[in-house]
Amino acid sequence: MNMNNDYNDIYELCKSHMHSYVLAEMVDGTKVDGIVTGLDNEYVYIAVPIGNGEPTHDHHHHHDKDHRFGYGFGYGYPGYGYPGYGPGYGPGYGRPPRRFNRLVLPLAALTALSVLPWY
């Protein structure tokens, strides 16, 4: 088995499936589905969907605030006005919830990559 040819084949496969929804299979039998977002000489970068109940690892998450309306009030008096204005600006404010985590996989550990339907 020629490891250099296998590596080149996996690299080219990842390159041809850039921005595609794929199933990546690892040498240890692990399978990961996600969108190929990047590639370099050593790694493939995959956006992995966050399932229900999985942590988002969002460092800007504040449990004591209502993210839809800042700190519980908008422009004007507390409880009135327009959501998203006034106090409440800060890291992570106004962003939609994260839907993907970034996963970095070594190309040398990949054995297969196949395109999945996105619907």
In tens, the pLDDT along 58-95 reads 444 444 444 443 444 444 444 444 455 545 555 556 77
Cα→Cα distances 25→31, 61, 102, Å: 5, 32, 17
For residue 3, what pLDDT is reported?
61
Distance separating alpha carbons of residues 14 and 43, to the nearest angstrom: 10
pLDDT band, very low/low/confident/very high, at 52 (cuts 50, 70, 90) = low
> What is the phi-psi region of residue 77: left when phi exceeds 0, alpha when psi lies from -120 to 50, beta otherwise?
beta
Q: Which domains can be identified in the chain, with CATH numbers? A: 1-50+106-119 (2.30.30.100), 67-97 (no CATH)
Q: What's the pTM?
A: 0.62
Please provide the DSSP assignment of 50-84 as one string: PPTT-----TT--TTS-TTSBTTB-SSSTT-S-TT
All residues at 6 or more sequence positions from 84 whose CB lies less than 8 Å from its CB, including other chains: 69, 70, 74, 94
